[in-house]
Structure 1
Amino acid sequence: MTALTEYQRLEAAGLWRETPQSQRRDVIVSIGEATLILSDTSDRPLTHWSLPALVRANPGEFPALYHPDGDPGETLELAAEETDMITALEKLRTVIDKRRPHPGRLRLVLLAAMCLAIVLGGLFWLPSALRGHVVNVVPQVKREAIGAALAEEIARVSGPPCGENDGQVALDKLANRVATDDRPLTLRVVRQGVDGALLLPGRQVLLNRALIEDYEEPDVAAGYALAELLRADSHDPLADMLDTAGLGASFRLLTTGEVPEDALRAYAEHLVTRPRPQPETEALLDLFEEAQVRSSPYAYALDITGESVLTLIEADPFANAAPPPLLSDGDWLRLQSICGG
């Protein structure tokens, strides 16, 4: 280290004791390039102390007492009158300390960085990871219970599901007909509050009565149900609910098997008011073909002009050959009167 230039020629009188048993000697103290030089009164050097290893034993007290780091038995006393030298040594010690590595400070910085990483992980990774785990472990029976609870919340605005004139029996037949796998599908018709169709956890689909009463064939209602099932393939309804309800609801469902009532109510309101994107057309056509349902009636229900759904019309998998009927004429008539006409 190069000492500060202003202190290169600074000298002071001091008392040096080489060991605790030695007599104190008068010395002349001067500052060199990297050392503190102690000389006798004849200007003969007696010892050199490394400036980076200089330690003050009594900070703030006088006479100022210094010693080499690791050897407190060898001391140098500077009287309070030697203000310039004491000030210079304290400034040098401060400069040296700032340049010296501080492992403790580095450990503190690393610890703070680790804590920050943990907090950020909790904020951004934990909710997604917990939600994904909950979605994977919740059994079907619990999904159905959650779907039923949501349906009750939605019934506050939609009214209770319709079920008159054996209409629900016919609706169950339609559900069995359009389900493309072995998993059960439940269809319910509501009077209002649902725009088109709405899929709830547990594979329960709510259909607006207009899909039954305003059309001459069940293909429209079937198409809306299939579109909801396709949306569920890209984003699980239970995962969507937990995304909206937050981390607390995920934790509550995992630990107690229940979803807070306020979270259910808030999500029900969210469901009936938010717009839902139209499923990808090619995937939807594949699903119509698999379920043996015509896509053009559904397309015209979306857009009576057909302009925005032209692909669904032109690529109808059953445009030239009718698929097996979704319902018999009698079942379709019963279904159309499910809400009492």
Structure 2
Amino acid sequence: MTVTALSKYQRLEAQALWRATPEAQRIDVIISVGEATLTITDTRDRVLAHWSLAAIARSNPGAHPAIYHPDGDPGETLEVSADESDMIEAIDKLRAAISRQRPRPGRLRFVGFLTSLAAVMALAVFWLPGAARHHALAVVPAVKRAEIGQALLGHLQKVTGPACRGPGGATALSELAGRLPAPQGDATRFMVVRGGVAGALRLPGGAVLINAALVEDYEEPDVVAGHIVAAYLRAEKRDPLDRLLAQGGVSASLRLLTTGVLPEEALRAHAEALLTDPPDPLDPETLLAGFRAWAVRATPYAYAVDITGETVLPLIEADPFAVPPPPPPLLSDQDWLRLQAICGG
């Protein structure tokens, strides 16, 4: 109720009929509006009752005579005839003004519900996917990562074909894996495939797919070694399993956490992305640090990426092994020849 609304009616009086109880007889009274009450007096100016303006109810809205009662006590009534239209208007307007200022529990509950729902949806959209993925990355053991990598490999080989198994090739790959151990001591398995892979690709669990062109089209193993180092660095920059789960969405992470397996559709879609999306770029400083850590010459890799050398000039100029002494050999000549022939080329 506003101060303006109250002051407008404070001096208003009217005649009415009041009954204290349903069994009592109605008597003539005078009613007047006070600061917070409706005062009821008899014809001798004796106060019979005070009704709180905030607790007056009307039992017959729109009808006449207007009948009012204290909220919650319909037995005590006050009848105001249609002739006292100013008083009826005053009481109804004051009741409406007070009603507008009352808290609305239902509305507040609804607003609270919407706020809670929005918070839950925000958590589901923005927090849950990342939280589920990060938890899965933290708890999935190495054996399960290897299983996931093997399942992903099955989808990749539908395009790349099976791994090449030429005579002596497995031994040569094992020697190369020993010379280029995986970071942090992870298990490593090199596999050469005839196509589909851009350079070298590290899978969850440690397997590295190598395009056969890297061993067939170059005279020295430094090129394939450089691509393996680049694959290691990309996997260090972003866990291959993290990429798979991010693409699979929160359902893939929750499925892995609850059942220990990933949906085939998620594996299939990720295999397609690995074979079609360009590899993540690596800056020269990162690559040079990797060549230095694994003792691999950068120049052969650089010219394999760009035969002109223009776009890879930082790798050539800052090659950590450009001057003697050279790094330890990657493979013996015999093993390199066996590796070049692993796909029957």
- Please give the TM-score of this superposition, normalised by the length of structure 2: 0.88
Q: What is the aligned counterpart of 1:194 among 197, 218, 230? A: 197
Shift of the alpha carbon at 1:255?
1.3
* 1:337 equivalent in structure 2: 341
* 1:308 equivalent in structure 2: 311
Aligned pairs for 1:189-338 (under 5 A) are 189-320=192-323, 321-338=325-342
Q: Deviation per CA, 1:139-185, whole angstroms, max 9, x where unpaired?
A: 11111111111111111111111111221221121122111542221
The 1:219/1:68 distance shift into structure 2, 3 A limit, reads same
Shift of the alpha carbon at 1:281?
2.4
The 1:242/1:70 distance shift into structure 2, 3 A limit, reads same
Shift of the alpha carbon at 1:125?
0.3
Aligned pairs for 1:88-99 (under 5 A) are 88-99=90-101
Q: Is the 8 A contact 2:196 2:275 kept in 1?
A: yes
Shift of the alpha carbon at 1:72?
5.4
Which moved further from structure 2: 281-290 or 41-50?
Answer: 41-50
Which moved further from structure 2: 42-51 or 195-204?
Answer: 42-51
* 1:118 equivalent in structure 2: 120
Q: Is the 8 A contact 2:291 2:320 kept in 1?
A: yes
* 1:183 equivalent in structure 2: 186
Which 5+ residue runs of structure 1 have no aligned equivalent? none
1:225 alignment partner, SS class = helix
**2-structure distance, mates of 1:133, 1:77:** 71
Q: How many residue pairs end up in the alignment? A: 341
Q: Is the 8 A contact 1:167 1:334 kept in 2?
A: yes
Shift of the alpha carbon at 1:37?
4.1
Q: Deviation per CA, 1:180-205, whole angstroms, max 9, x where unpaired?
A: 54222111111111111212111111
Which moved further from structure 2: 188-197 or 282-291?
Answer: 282-291
Which 5+ residue runs of structure 2 have no aligned equivalent? none
Q: Is the 8 A contact 1:178 1:293 kept in 2?
A: no
Q: What is the aligned counterpart of 1:38 among 37, 40, 44? A: 40
The 1:192/1:80 distance shift into structure 2, 3 A limit, reads farther
1:134 alignment partner, SS class = helix
* 1:149 equivalent in structure 2: 151
Q: What is the aligned counterpart of 1:16 among 8, 15, 18? A: 18
Which moved further from structure 2: 304-313 or 330-339?
Answer: 304-313
Q: Aligned residues: percent identity?
A: 57
Kindly provide the amino acid, as one letter, of the partner of residue 334 in structure 2: G
* 2:176 equivalent in structure 1: 174
The 1:60/1:176 distance shift into structure 2, 3 A limit, reads farther
**2-structure distance, mates of 1:208, 1:272:** 12
Shift of the alpha carbon at 1:75?
2.8
Q: Deviation per CA, 1:86-131, whole angstroms, max 9, x where unpaired?
A: 4543333222111123355334423321221112101110111011
2:208 alignment partner, SS class = strand
Which moved further from structure 2: 1-10 or 203-212?
Answer: 1-10
**2-structure distance, mates of 1:233, 1:94:** 69
- Please give the TM-score of this superposition, normalised by the length of structure 1: 0.89
1:246 alignment partner, SS class = helix
**2-structure distance, mates of 1:280, 1:113:** 45
* 1:138 equivalent in structure 2: 140
Kindly provide the amino acid, as one letter, of the partner of residue 171 in structure 1: L
Which moved further from structure 2: 200-209 or 15-24?
Answer: 15-24
Shift of the alpha carbon at 1:309?
1.4
Q: Is the 8 A contact 2:198 2:279 kept in 1?
A: no
Aligned pairs for 1:48-127 (under 5 A) are 48-57=50-59, 64-69=66-71, 74-79=76-81, 85-103=87-105, 105-127=107-129
Which moved further from structure 2: 93-102 or 48-57?
Answer: 48-57
Kindly provide the amino acid, as one letter, of the partner of residue 205 in structure 2: G
